[in-house]
A and B are shown apart, each in its own frame.
Chain A
């Protein structure tokens, strides 16, 4: 697969503290890559290395096949977790300044800003100072700063913090749109539902080590445990339950239905197929519910972190 960003065996220490230990990641072109991990795991350090704010002690980073060089900053857009803009500068001037620092010409920056201001419905903010804006409003400006120079690689550290649900949705749609337009997105967050919704790939970093990575679907396959949620309607509830328990490991389940079903979580042995369970169930009653339990990103996250 074609990777936009590759980090190979990156390590970084601060004094005695090892922030990253031999971490390698590969970010495929055009994907949304979730960089996950508990607080203090080393995500931000890795992001800073990619942004060349700091250098790795060992290991190397490649962007589009080339070793990372200072001129590559023009190809990267970075939204740090710690948000901030020049407070006493006017919105328009500030955006023009930051865009020019990223290598855009002034007229080009102006042209693109006009488009973005319309897209995010912030047209009348041009002459306002940042300190006059609310936190959410300033966040929108910061988002524009990150994407304005149309970088190949976008890095968002907790992009939705500080946004109300409406604006968070707006930003989410913009990120997806940018991906569709060809950008690659690295996305560090704790909000698992947005990982579930948006990420194609994830990497999980825990205590400075990468402990899991790959396409989200593959990981889910890897983590599924052959458990099924079943529900069926029968008159002889007790016999049916006993019969099922005899054949499979079951626990009571709770989910919403409209009938008076018996509900169970069933653990299939590894040599059994779902069809075995289904055909067995059809003998016991009317099957109304049969779902494979797929682990959520959040469950995978918690489980992996706990096991390490």
Chain B
């Protein structure tokens, strides 16, 4: 067996057999599902409370607005003075008292309605009540001015630009959003992977130094192979853990949802409905539009390139962590390096969201889609807008070449780091180190 596969095997097995690794692998999904179900349970609990509100409407304009719903019950009071009503409300089992004074001008109402309650009322309740009052007040106001509210609604015109490329392909804003989501998702996944497993790679590179086996190892294998093996072995362990997480999470959450009787699909549908209602569209239309846009994406190209860029991007950042591990003697010296490593990735996501969407083939987008530290995110966001295949391949090649370059560089630091007895290297020496 050659050295590289031996090292990969050892790194993988040591990581996977490590007790804390095993515990984290199985505990994390449990904790996550536990937390999510707790939050779900609590918010459900909250939603289930029914609040009763007394209403004293002296103006008599809003009486038809107080229909009970699941969370709010209204108790309309008549023929009582405000003081009496307050007294009853305070002693009774009600959440609060809504007082609408008698008035001749609708305008006066905007500031004169009062809500009395024991404690500060919840924002949801208040905005619910205000919404009821506002819509009624608005139509009353329109009527007062002699305008027909129905007519005005019919007169409003929405503009929805239809997008079409010169080649005749129809696109839409929905498509742009979808493309954004795709690139964003890739960036997010990359981010998460690097944050979770970058440290692990660094620690594994330091391992030989802390256990002082370094001279034995270095007199048996080349540092480049050692580092490469460590990066790949640790990454494979990370991927294994991630897969276990995904499987466990989906199994656990479906079990939990079954037990608690929460139907995620229904919840989603409800949310979608709300969203659709808010935008004034219709649900079925949107679904078909999404599907249509989705099928227009270069799916195969995207999936293949996603794999290349994700693996390449991950390896590149992993090799940066390895380089840090190679340069320091102990883990405590590494803290300061963490953030600078992540900055280019953050930059990539920003460029992706702001520049690529503005101008997918502009200079900035093009440049950033070739810079290896940002290309995994930016290029993936550009691909849905159509990028020539040679550009994609060139970018991937640059990415992997940079990865190998970083590992090579790290291995030089690593080899020389052993021989430096706590002496700070000068730049001249640094350059000399690179020669052997």
Task: Please report A residues at the B interface, Cβ cutoff 8 Å.
Answer: 14-15, 48, 51-55, 70, 73, 76, 78, 80, 82-89, 97-98, 100-102, 106, 142, 145
List of 6 A-B pairs having minimum Cβ-Cβ separation, nearest first: A84-B212, A80-B215, A51-B219, A84-B213, A101-B220, A55-B436
B222 in contact (CB, < 8 A):
yes
Question: Which of these, B18, B211, B419, contacts A84 with CB under 8 Å?
Answer: B211
Contact B420 A14 (CB under 8 A): yes
Say yes or no: is B31 at the interface (Cβ < 8 Å to chain A).
Answer: no
Given contacts A80-B216, A85-B213, A101-B221, 8 further A-B contacts (CB under 8 A): A15-B423, A51-B219, A73-B219, A85-B216, A86-B14, A86-B213, A101-B6, A102-B220
Contacts of B6 in A (CB 8 A): 97, 100-101
Q: Taking the complex as formed, is B291 at the interface, i.e. its CB lies under 8 A from any CB of chain A? A: no
- With the chains together, A84 CA to B7 CA distance in Å? 18
**Which residues of B401-432 are within 8 A (CB) of A?**
415-416, 418-420, 423, 425-426, 429
- Partner of B215 from A55, A73, A78, A102 at Cβ < 8 Å: A78
Which residues does chain A contribute within 8 Å of B222, judged by CB atoms? 70
For residue A70, which residues in chain B have a CB less than 8 angstroms away from its CB? 222
User: A212 → chain B, closest Cβ, in Å?
Assistant: 26
A/B interface sample: 21 pairs, CB < 8 A: A15-B429, A51-B219, A53-B415, A53-B418, A70-B222, A78-B216, A80-B219, A84-B211, A84-B212, A84-B213, A86-B207, A86-B211, A86-B213, A88-B14, A89-B14, A97-B6, A98-B216, A101-B217, A101-B220, A101-B221, A145-B216
Q: Assess whether A78 is in contact with B219, with CB atoms less than 8 Å apart.
A: yes
What is the bound-complex CA distance between A98 and B216, given in angstroms?
9
CB of B389 within 8 A of chain A?
no
* A residues in contact with B219, CB < 8 Å: 51-53, 73, 76, 78, 80
Does B155 count as interface, using CB distance less than 8 angstroms? no
Q: Give A14 to B220 CA distance when docked, in angstroms.
A: 23
Return chain B residues, CB-CB under 8 Å to A51. Answer: 215, 219
State in angstroms the CA–CA spacing of A140 and B4 once bound together: 27
Q: By the criterion CB–CB under 8 Å, are A54 and B436 in contact? A: yes
The residue of chain A having its C-beta at the shortest distance from the C-beta of B209 within the complex is: A84
Within the assembled complex, what's the spacing in Å between the Cα atoms of A233 and B6? 74
Alpha-carbon distance A288/B218, docked complex (angstroms): 59
Cα of A70 to Cα of B423 in the assembled complex, Å: 28
Interface residues of B in 1-15 (CB under 8 A from A): 1, 3, 6-7, 10, 14
Q: Return A76 CB to nearest CB of chain B, in Å.
A: 7
In contact, A97 and B10 (Cβ under 8 angstroms): yes
Are B423 and A14 neighbours in the complex by a CB distance under 8 Å?
A: yes
In the complex, the chain B residue whose C-beta lies closest to that of A77 is B219
Residues of B within 8 A of A88 (CB): 14, 18
A263 to B7, CA, bound (A): 67
A-contact bits for B379-390, CB 8 A (1 contact / 0 none): 000000000000
- Contact A15–B216 (Cβ < 8 Å): no
- Shortest CB–CB separation between residue B401 and chain A, in angstroms? 24
Nearest CB of B to A147, in Å = 13
Q: Give the interface centre of B7, B213, B415 by most chain A CB atoms within 10 Å.
A: B213
Report the minimum CB–CB distance from B183 to chain A (whole Å).
41
- Complex Cα distance, B219 from A145, in Å, reads 12
- Is there an interface contact between B215 and A53, defined as CB atoms closer than 8 Å? yes
Docked CA distance A51–B222 (Å): 12
Asked if B214 is at the interface of the complex by the 8 Å CB criterion, the answer is: yes
Query: In the assembled complex, which residues on chain A have CB atoms less than 8 Å from the CB atom of B14?
Result: 86, 88-89
In contact, A82 and B220 (Cβ under 8 angstroms): no
> CA of A78 to CA of B215 in the docked complex: distance in angstroms?
9
CB proximity of B227 to chain A, nearest CB, Å = 15
A54 touches B415 (CB 8 A): yes
Q: Would you give the shortest CB distance from A139 to chain B, in whole angstroms?
A: 12
Q: State in angstroms the CA–CA spacing of A84 and B222 once bound together.
A: 18
Once bound together, how far apart are the Cα atoms of A106 and B10, in whole Å?
Answer: 14
Once the chains bind, are A83 and B212 in contact (CB under 8 Å)?
Answer: yes
Considering the complex, give the chain A residue whose CB is closest to the CB of B419: A54
State A111–B423 Cα separation when bound (angstroms).
44
A70 and B220 CA atoms in complex are apart in Å by: 9
Question: Which of these, A15, A80, A86, contacts B426 with CB under 8 Å?
Answer: A15
| 8 A Cβ contacts from B217-254 to A | 217-222
* Bound Cα distance from A84 to B221, whole angstroms: 16
Q: Which B residues are in CB contact (< 8 Å) with A55?
A: 436
In the complex, the chain A residue whose C-beta lies closest to that of B217 is A101
**From residue B429, how far is it (CB to closest CB) to chain A in Å?**
6
With CB as the reference atom, state the residue of chain A lying closest to B223: A53
What separation, in Å, do the CA atoms of A89 and B216 have in the docked complex? 15
Measured CB to CB, the nearest residue on chain A to B7 is: A101
Q: How many angstroms from the CA of A101 to the CA of B222 in the assembled complex?
A: 11
Which residues from chain A contact B216 at a C-beta distance below 8 Å? 78, 80, 84-85, 98, 142, 145
Bound form: Cα–Cα A76–B211 in Å:
22
List residues of chain B with CB within 8 A of the CB of A15: 423, 425-426, 429
Given contacts A101-B6, A145-B216, contact A48 B211 (CB under 8 A): no
**Could you tell me the distance between the alpha carbons of A51 and B216 in the complex, rounded to whole angstroms?**
10
Q: How far is the CA of A106 from the CA of B6 in the complex (A)?
A: 11
Measured between beta carbons, the chain A residues less than 8 angstroms from B213 are: 84-86
Give, as a whole number of angstroms, the nearest-CB distance from A276 to chain B: 55
Q: How far is the CB of A155 from chain B (nearest CB, A)?
A: 9
CB distance from B331 to the nearest CB of A (A): 15
**Bound: A83/B7 CA distance, A:** 20
Q: Are A53 and B211 in contact (CB under 8 A)?
A: no
Give CA–CA (A89, B204) in the complex, Å: 14
Docked Cα-Cα span, A89 to B17, in Å, equals: 10
Nearest CB in chain A: distance from B252 CB, A: 30
- Enumerate chain A residues within 8 angstroms of B429, measured Cβ to Cβ: 15
- Which residues in B have their C-beta under 8 angstroms from that of A101? 3, 6-7, 217, 220-221
Question: Please, which residue of chain B has its CB at the minimum distance from the CB of A74?
Answer: B220
Cα(A145)–Cα(B100), bound, Å:
90
Distance in angstroms from A45 CB to nearest chain B CB is 8
A82-B423 contact in complex given A97-B6, A101-B220, C-beta closer than 8 Å? no
Q: Once bound together, how far apart are the Cα atoms of A76 and B216, in whole Å?
A: 11
CB-CB < 8 A to B3: which residues of A?
Answer: 101
Contact of A48 (CB < 8 Å), options: B18, B419, B423, B426: B419
In whole Å, how far is B316's beta carbon from the nearest beta carbon of chain A?
A: 27
The docked-state distance in angstroms from the alpha carbon of A268 to that of B101 is 132
Point out the residues of chain A lying under 8 angstroms from B436, CB to CB.
Answer: 54-55
User: What residues of B have a CB within 8 angstroms of the CB of A97 in the complex?
Assistant: 6, 10
Chain A residues with CB under 8 Å of B420's CB are 14
> In the complex, what residues of B have CB within 8 A of residue A82's CB?
212, 215
Least Cβ–Cβ distance between A38 and chain B, in angstroms: 16
Give the chain B neighbours of A102 by CB distance below 8 A. Answer: 220
Q: How far is the CA of A169 from the CA of B280 in the complex (A)?
A: 91
Chain B: minimal CB distance from A36 (Å): 20
